[in-house]
Structure 1
Amino acid sequence: MDDVLDINSLSHEMDELTSFLLKDENTRSLNTEKKEFSENVQFKLDSYMTAVKLNEKIVPADIIERRKKLPIYTKKNELMNAIVNNHVLIIIGETGSGKTTQLPQYLKEVGLTITGRIGCTQLRRMAVKSVTKRVAQEQGCNIGEEVGYTIRFEDMTSEKTEIQYMTDGILLRECTYDKMLSNYSAVILDESHERTIDTDILLAVLKWIIRKRNDLKLIISSATLDSVKFSNYFDGATVFNISGRMFPVNIIYNPFQLYDYERSAAKTVIMINEQKERGDILVFLTGEDDIETLSDYLNYEYKPSSLHYNLKIIPVYSALPWEQQALIFEPAKKNERKVIIATNIAETSLTVDGIRYVIDSGYVKQKVYNPKKDMEVLTKVRVSQAQAIQRTGRAGRVGPGVCYRLYSQSQFDLFPSAPIPEIKRTSLTNTVLLLKKIGFINLNDIDFLDAPPTDAINFALTELELFEAIDKTGHITEIGIKMASFPLEPNLAKMLIISEVLGCTEEILTIVALLSVSNIFFRPKKKQKLADKAKSNFFTNNGDLIMMMNVYNQWHQTSQDKNWCHENFINHRMLLEANSIREQLLDIMKSRKMKLKSSFSDMTPVLKSICAGFFQNVAKKKPYLANRKKYDYITLPSNEVVFIHPGSCMHKVLPAWVVYQKVVTTSKEFMRGITPIDCSWLIEMAPSFNLQI
């Protein structure tokens, strides 16, 4: 069943009807069959004319043909039958099969949009936006009409929306105010193999929901899923396999153990450009720093000869705005070769035409949380074998390819088979708050695919009790309900709530919005001294978060001048994003009838509000020792040694007591986002916090 009117078929049927009606009227006795035929064709004609009158888009023939060429199309009827006859369906669709774009449309075709929306989760915002764009084209509509998406702080849906793509965190948050997901007739959890914390929680919540709702279809979809484990989890759910459109990919290992993978990646890019035929390159690195380092080298130091392609370098990581990330989809020019340098953001759900060569560093950055130290550290680790296979597959989506693995075959054999589920290695505070809001009083009642560590759950419960978000019986409080209404981490939500009491909601609203985006300060490698000097002009003794607020306020006074940002090494796009987030948080506050107040020049209420959010991230300066070159701090109550980051405006002020936003580990464990406090505020803002001052 195609998604658009078949005009050629309609024209043929109209010719038949016209011929029939031109017959002698005396011999034209319209029996029931002919009458139904006539009415059917007329209905189609009326529908077509209505579409023309409403200026609705007719899907081009090439898009229809493109859909038919996808591997999933060969199993369309069989798959639609499986969807109709199964409550829960597990689909193993190989890379390039078309499952991400086609499954929601097939669900629509079997009539599931009559009773509700079809929701499809993706792991990353970039995938949500790009997939929505593709499906909207295939459905012949604009984004936000029949096909839309929702990500944090951005909702592109309407009352007309039938297919909704979203991040898994968005769907989980929907459960907090619609426990049974009554707006949906079907839910697809895509790329479930990556086992993010939100995906795992959704699996548990949806397992509970489908026992209450016989009308809800649940589809678990992935390319590299442990189908037996997932099938058993859902009481023997049917597994449906779809072959992918994978072209052969030649894997080339590096026989040596390499530590400088950035240099190796650069050499491999150059070798491909100078020795290999046309085709774009995708490089997998770990994060913003090494991506920018390689980008700078290829942009400014490598000069290809006239015999080789010019390189179009495209960095891709989550901190970049969508407009820059979307450059990966633009085709290379005639004498150009695209080099996409990305984090694992490009591993799944994205088809980038033209990729022929993949360079895999074999590393990824992963959040690891230690509840005893209350520290979450972003650590560079080896990828799993499943991730390496996903990366390799990027080279075989549109033609034969080559994957250069910057590690040996023997090293690959030692990689873990799959990544450690995020639920086992990250903070659970926000997750537990959402589960409480959904209505799970006793967390032991939740059937997890892999149970989270007991220590992490207990710490989350303790932390939420300190925030006064739950009471001693484990029930959510009014403060907790209000905190859960914000799409924020609990500590940021608590800052907003306490700021109303202290009369500084305007200031804290700005700070929370700024903490919800990436770093607003630029520090280009070739202009680090100039950038540091520009940043020092904003330094204040009130700490890094107040400094950020001051930057935002000055930017507003310049009428959001982009040139002012450039001159001061400020990221204009991040400020625009923060401004948008601030407006949306303001709407939530107004909906909850929270009062907007400003403390004006008095920063004490603002500092106290920050303390209320970050009281557990507290450190005090150690006594001075003559043989110590730099002051260090001790976290309380965990007694970990930490240092003030050199980029902090507190680096030379060295207050006796501070709270910090996070700890990052490089050469040392550095505190970032530092705010000076009076230690008496800890008792005032968090009276239950057991701290030996």
Structure 2
Amino acid sequence: MLPKLNPFTKKPYTPQYYKILAQRTTLPVYQRAKELTQNVRDHQVVLFVGETGSGKTTQVPQFISEMELPGVVVCTQPRRIAAMSIAVRVAAEMDVQLGEEVGYRVRFKSMVSDKTKLLYMTDGMLLREAFSDRDLSRISVVVVDEAHERTVETDVLLGVLRLLMQRRQDFRLVVMSATLDMERFQAYFPKAPLIQVEGRMYDVQVLYSTVPVKDYVEACVERVCDIHLNEPPGDILCFLTGEAEIERAVSRTKLKLEHLLADDGNTVSSNGAQLLARVLPLYGSLGVDDQGRVFSNAGKNTRKIIFATNIAETSLTIDGIVYVVDCGYHKQSLYNAEARVDYLLPAVISKASAEQRKGRAGRTRPGKCFRLFQQSDFSSFPNQTHPEVLRSNMINTVLLLLKLDVANPYQFAFIDPPSQQSVMDAYCQLSLFGAVDDDLQLTDFGRLMADFPVDACLARVLMRSAQYGCAADAAVIVAMLETRNVLVRPASRGIEAEQKHVMFRHPDGDHLTLFKVFHAFWRSGQSSQYCFDNFLAYQALQQAVNVYTQLTKLMKKKNICFVSTYDDRSGKLDSVAIRKAVLEGFFTQVAYKPPGGELYKTVRDSQMVALHRHSFPSMSGSPSWIVYDRLEVQGQGGTFIRVASAIEPEWLLEVSDFFNDTSEFGDGEICRILQDLKAGGTTQKG
């Protein structure tokens, strides 16, 4: 007997509910609902392994919400795009309004109400909720999904929740993973029962590359086009490492298919069916509308070709995928403790990730997985993803733990503890920022820094900008840095895009160029047509406006003097004030170019780096001193500076005592320059 009344809304179910319910009951996890809920009643912690296609992400939180527990059921996700899209799906399955009984909360965006019983959140947002409510008193159960990804925030959250369970016997935790490698979690929660549910998988044929691949982006494009031309109908999912690669691949694929096919994308595949290609991107910062296109039905006789990051590996399920193309890499953050420098670089995936990617091709029917690496290479891949906490800069994590009143972050019970050196480096950086005192406790300044849902360096920019009279301008730049990649450069129209972007360039650098882009978009009335005409990313800029709005509210709430140096009519601004504010948060990310040289030398570790080709045109000439946002390693192409602005070396002594101790910089040229500056001498300026 099917239920007629929705227990959440007290209204009759709609016909659509029963249609979706018929699909839900076929999922493997559905048959284990009673076993799961009974274990949740009987145990504080339950470990749950649901393989690809089992339905764990959408169904397990629903089963628990139907237990009628007194508080909210929270399901955490590592990525904001997953939290939002899954909430949309679950609201439809439960036949309720999104933002009412089912909601989501991610950085700078939420849909939630007093009625909300099931809430999807990012791990980081739940940690921030603990700032104001240490015991998470409104929450009965937390379901930590995608725990196998081992992000820093997931690992910290599990440690915080383990401590919470000692204080709250009524609290329940479900740890979910898509892989069978649960030994670390079983050791961390030794009394927790383990439930395993197999996925719903068809056979997937794996085809390896027979030769080494030099340019995996171009190889992906070639393979995708070959599949479209020669394989039977079925959507294609291609894994790449990041937004820039994906946008390049999307443009190249569209261009290549236009050249290959006589009728703008129409072709006759090997089974004689006429197919149209719809080429789409999928990555974390993509707007909601663009995400929706990936999940929507492409229409009759149309094949979707989706280029995605590893967000499509386990977090999101796309129906209709028959072919997977795997480049074998993902973007990985890496902190070099010896040099005290962060990198973002491509790294080989784990064997577990490769299997997850393969599984995306076998959800609805037999499929094929094309691996763009040799089988001998695959044997050398690591078995599991290396925990992020073991390879990351710990500054944000230590700041978070101190804000959560963890007395000694050195002794925090991580699943895999970070090195003592990385924690010490984090304390040193926080000390330079004025966030901790000599006893390694948070200062009032540090507590305020932790309240901003951005990286510590960006929080310092926001808080110190008031002394330069440019807090509103700093909020714009931070919002744009949080968004990234607002300038669109299609492969087929690169020259035209560069010509349009000229009007946004500021002679002092990329930060002020981003500032100009933001205000141009604002003046256009946030017009999508303006973005299309000028090669700007509309969804990204909408997100930047949203971030700016949220930061504005928070800064005013913290009584930060919120003024701007920008005159909208004349376009004039105080470039020096704004760049000094940026330097306040990034003074350890400064580089110097020796006279006559082409490369820059980073001040902190004397590494030779180049300005990225998209940064260089933003600045008049090539300044001797720059502050930069990040370093990026691009395969064999070297290390590049991304988002840079010119500074004067004298400013270094103004913003931080870090530069007063010249012994930090060895006996080289930079040490001599700093000594001259301290002595009141002159040096080469930007």
TM-score (norm 1): 0.88
Whether 2:600 is the aligned partner of 1:610: answer no
Question: In the superposition, relative to structure 1, how do residues 139 and 265 fare at CA in structure 2: closer, same or farther (>3 Å)?
Answer: same
- Could you tell me which residue of structure 2 aligns to residue 174 of structure 1? 129
- Could you tell me which residue of structure 2 aligns to residue 193 of structure 1? 148
User: Which 4+ residue blocks in structure 1 deviate beyond 6 angstroms?
Assistant: none
- Could you tell me which residue of structure 2 aligns to residue 634 of structure 1? 601
Q: Structure 1 CA distance, aligned partners of 2:311 and 2:369?
A: 18
Aligned partner (choices 258, 278, 282) of residue 312 of structure 1: 278
Which deviates more, 211-220 or 572-581? 572-581
Q: Structure 1 CA distance, aligned partners of 2:81 and 2:523?
A: 32
Q: Structure 2 CA distance, aligned partners of 1:350 and 1:599?
A: 43
Tell me if structure 1 keeps the 8 A contact 2:28–2:197.
Answer: yes
Residue 220 of structure 1 and its aligned partner are, at CA, apart by 0.5
Question: In the superposition, relative to structure 1, how do residues 71 and 646 fare at CA in structure 2: closer, same or farther (>3 Å)?
Answer: closer
Tell me if structure 1 keeps the 8 A contact 2:507–2:620.
Answer: no
Tell me if structure 2 keeps the 8 A contact 1:121–1:188.
Answer: yes
Aligned partner (choices 310, 319, 338) of residue 353 of structure 1: 319
Tell me if structure 2 keeps the 8 A contact 1:367–1:377.
Answer: yes
Aligned partner (choices 127, 131, 135) of residue 90 of structure 2: 135
Matched ranges for 1:323-334 at <5 A:
323-334=289-300
Q: Structure 2 CA distance, aligned partners of 1:437 and 1:553?
A: 34
Q: Structure 2 CA distance, aligned partners of 1:520 and 1:406?
A: 30
Question: In the superposition, relative to structure 1, how do residues 273 and 533 fare at CA in structure 2: closer, same or farther (>3 Å)?
Answer: closer
Q: Deviations over 1:294-349 (max 9, x none)?
A: 32333222215344422111121223222112211111322111111111110013
Say which SS state the counterpart of residue 414 (structure 1) adopts.
Answer: coil
The AA in structure 2 aligned to 1:220 is V
Aligned partner (choices 654, 662, 675) of residue 684 of structure 1: 654
Residue 652 of structure 1 and its aligned partner are, at CA, apart by 4.2
Aligned partner (choices 672, 678, 682) of residue 642 of structure 2: 672
Which deviates more, 192-201 or 590-599? 590-599
Q: Structure 2 CA distance, aligned partners of 1:161 and 1:393?
A: 33
- Could you tell me which residue of structure 1 aligns to residue 539 of structure 2? 573
The AA in structure 2 aligned to 1:127 is A
Say which SS state the counterpart of residue 504 (structure 2) adopts.
Answer: coil
Which deviates more, 268-277 or 498-507? 268-277
Question: In the superposition, relative to structure 1, how do residues 458 and 614 fare at CA in structure 2: closer, same or farther (>3 Å)?
Answer: same
Q: Structure 2 CA distance, aligned partners of 1:4 and 1:293?
A: 50
Tell me if structure 2 keeps the 8 A contact 1:500–1:594.
Answer: yes
Residue 458 of structure 1 and its aligned partner are, at CA, apart by 1.1
Tell me if structure 1 keeps the 8 A contact 2:470–2:565.
Answer: yes
The AA in structure 2 aligned to 1:305 is T
Matched ranges for 1:259-658 at <5 A:
259-302=214-257, 303=261, 304-306=266-268, 307=272, 308-600=274-566, 601-624=573-596, 628=597, 630=598, 632-648=599-615, 649=617, 651-658=619-626
The AA in structure 1 aligned to 2:24 is R
Question: In the superposition, relative to structure 1, how do residues 522 and 332 fare at CA in structure 2: closer, same or farther (>3 Å)?
Answer: closer
Greater Rg over alpha carbons, structure: 1
Whether 2:627 is the aligned partner of 1:659: answer yes
Residue 670 of structure 1 and its aligned partner are, at CA, apart by 2.5
Tell me if structure 2 keeps the 8 A contact 1:58–1:140.
Answer: no
Tell me if structure 1 keeps the 8 A contact 2:5–2:11.
Answer: no
Residue 59 of structure 1 and its aligned partner are, at CA, apart by 5.8
Aligned partner (choices 65, 73, 78) of residue 123 of structure 1: 78
- Could you tell me which residue of structure 1 aligns to residue 678 of structure 2? none
Question: In the superposition, relative to structure 1, how do residues 635 and 249 fare at CA in structure 2: closer, same or farther (>3 Å)?
Answer: same
Say which SS state the counterpart of residue 404 (structure 1) adopts.
Answer: strand
Residue 423 of structure 1 and its aligned partner are, at CA, apart by 0.7
Tell me if structure 2 keeps the 8 A contact 1:545–1:673.
Answer: yes
The AA in structure 1 aligned to 2:11 is A
Tell me if structure 2 keeps the 8 A contact 1:644–1:651.
Answer: no
Residue 553 of structure 1 and its aligned partner are, at CA, apart by 2.2
- Could you tell me which residue of structure 2 aligns to residue 247 of structure 1? 202
Question: In the superposition, relative to structure 1, how do residues 243 and 251 fare at CA in structure 2: closer, same or farther (>3 Å)?
Answer: same
Question: In the superposition, relative to structure 1, how do residues 327 and 563 fare at CA in structure 2: closer, same or farther (>3 Å)?
Answer: closer
Unmatched tracts of structure 2, length 5 or more: 567-572, 663-670, 675-686
Q: Structure 2 CA distance, aligned partners of 1:566 and 1:223?
A: 39
Question: In the superposition, relative to structure 1, how do residues 259 and 493 fare at CA in structure 2: closer, same or farther (>3 Å)?
Answer: same
Residue 516 of structure 1 and its aligned partner are, at CA, apart by 1.0
- Could you tell me which residue of structure 2 aligns to residue 80 of structure 1? 37
Residue 645 of structure 1 and its aligned partner are, at CA, apart by 3.0
Number of residue equivalences? 643
Aligned sequence identity (%) = 37
Unmatched tracts of structure 1, length 5 or more: 7-43
Q: Structure 1 CA distance, aligned partners of 2:645 and 2:218?
A: 38
Q: Structure 2 CA distance, aligned partners of 1:679 and 1:561?
A: 40
- Could you tell me which residue of structure 1 aligns to residue 174 of structure 2? 219
Q: Structure 2 CA distance, aligned partners of 1:225 and 1:181?
A: 30
Residue 554 of structure 1 and its aligned partner are, at CA, apart by 3.1
Residue 225 of structure 1 and its aligned partner are, at CA, apart by 4.3
Tell me if structure 1 keeps the 8 A contact 2:252–2:492.
Answer: no
Which deviates more, 541-550 or 410-419? 541-550
- Could you tell me which residue of structure 2 aligns to residue 71 of structure 1? 28
The AA in structure 1 aligned to 2:255 is Y
Tell me if structure 1 keeps the 8 A contact 2:505–2:516.
Answer: no
Say which SS state the counterpart of residue 309 (structure 1) adopts.
Answer: strand
Residue 278 of structure 1 and its aligned partner are, at CA, apart by 2.4
Say which SS state the counterpart of residue 176 (structure 1) adopts.
Answer: helix
The AA in structure 1 aligned to 2:629 is Q
Question: In the superposition, relative to structure 1, how do residues 554 and 405 fare at CA in structure 2: closer, same or farther (>3 Å)?
Answer: closer
Question: In the superposition, relative to structure 1, how do residues 447 and 657 fare at CA in structure 2: closer, same or farther (>3 Å)?
Answer: same
The AA in structure 2 aligned to 1:326 is G
Q: Structure 2 CA distance, aligned partners of 1:671 and 1:270?
A: 33
- Could you tell me which residue of structure 2 aligns to residue 13 of structure 1? none
Tell me if structure 2 keeps the 8 A contact 1:361–1:405.
Answer: yes
Q: Deviations over 1:438-480 (max 9, x none)?
A: 0113113311111112222111111011111111111111111
Say which SS state the counterpart of residue 459 (structure 2) adopts.
Answer: helix
Q: Deviations over 1:239-283 (max 9, x none)?
A: 111122222222233333333434443443344334433221111
Say which SS state the counterpart of residue 305 (structure 1) adopts.
Answer: strand
Q: Structure 2 CA distance, aligned partners of 1:396 and 1:541?
A: 52
Tell me if structure 2 keeps the 8 A contact 1:494–1:613.
Answer: yes
